[in-house]
Amino acid sequence: MRLGTSVVLLYHRIGPVRLSSHVAGQYVSPRVFGWGIDGLRRKSWRGVSLAECIEIGRGGEPDGGAGFAITFDDGYLSVYEHACPMLRERDMTATVYVVVDTLGGINEWDRRVGDQEEKMMSAAQARELAENGFEIGSHTLTHPHLTALDDEQLAREIADSKHKLEDLIGREVASFSYPYGDFDCRVLNAAIAAGYGNAVSTRLGAVIQGTSLFEIPRVNVRWNGFGWQLRRKIRRAMKASGLVK
């Protein structure tokens, strides 16, 4: 570990692994989730907000130690039910990226390709989280592959989701997450034009001085994401960003 190291962890679903799912590895049980974050804290990593994590990594806080931020993509009900209470018990926060038009519904984008149905958190639950120190970010309206959209559809998914979500939760939405980690120059510029302050990708890496605010790398945490497996993955992220050999 070195000073100013920071990583952004990416989680999806919290709950027992459902082997019938196309993305079975994306289920992290509440127990593994707890072991993961408690293990890092025992190794002197500090759980911080996404904004703080970016600050530490990009050098704004050189004595900030090692920080990790927690992010959840999609906005599953299981995150609201299991992970958020565990974070609150530990006085920690997270950023939850919701698919705005599916709030209170199901994961329609997965269902369309035949995957398991999952419940999404409701708008009221997202608002409650926002009122309790969690950050709510946008993960578009419908979870499309953004690079495949025309300019008008792109603006709708990126800008309209921001405004709609701001109306729902009653506060500014400053962060965006690219569905499937799918973005190019045009998509990135659309996120900047929509007024977001940053955007997260699915590329593996740590946040370092030169990290672009609209290409924040993350560490995808899967079913076995605790203890040495999690630390090994973080080390891989640091290596990908040139922090360790």
Q: Which residues bind Zn ion (CB under 5 A)?
A: 73-74, 179
> By C-beta, is 13 or 82 nearer to Zn ion?
13
> By C-beta, is 74 or 135 nearer to Zn ion?
74
> By C-beta, is 11 or 226 nearer to Zn ion?
11
CB atoms within 10 A of CB 20: 8
CA 185/CA 165 separation, integer angstroms:
24
Shortest CB 181 distance to Zn ion, Å: 9
Residue number, nearest CB to Zn ion:
73
> By C-beta, is 61 or 73 nearer to Zn ion?
73
CB atoms within 10 A of CB 40: 22
Shortest CB 179 distance to Zn ion, Å: 5
Q: Are 191 and 214 in contact (CB under 8 A)?
A: yes
Q: Which residues pair with 10 in a beta bridge?
A: 71, 220
> By C-beta, is 67 or 179 nearer to Zn ion?
179
149: left (phi over 0), alpha (psi -120 to 50) or beta: beta
Q: What is the DSSP letter of 94?
A: -
Residue 236, classed as helix, strand or coil, is helix
Sign of CA dihedral 216, 238, 61, 68: positive
Q: Which residues pair with 13 in a beta bridge?
A: 27
Shortest CB 143 distance to Zn ion, Å: 6
Shortest CB 233 distance to Zn ion, Å: 19
> By C-beta, is 40 or 188 nearer to Zn ion?
188
Sign of CA dihedral 69, 17, 202, 233: positive
Shortest CB 142 distance to Zn ion, Å: 11
Shortest CB 70 distance to Zn ion, Å: 16
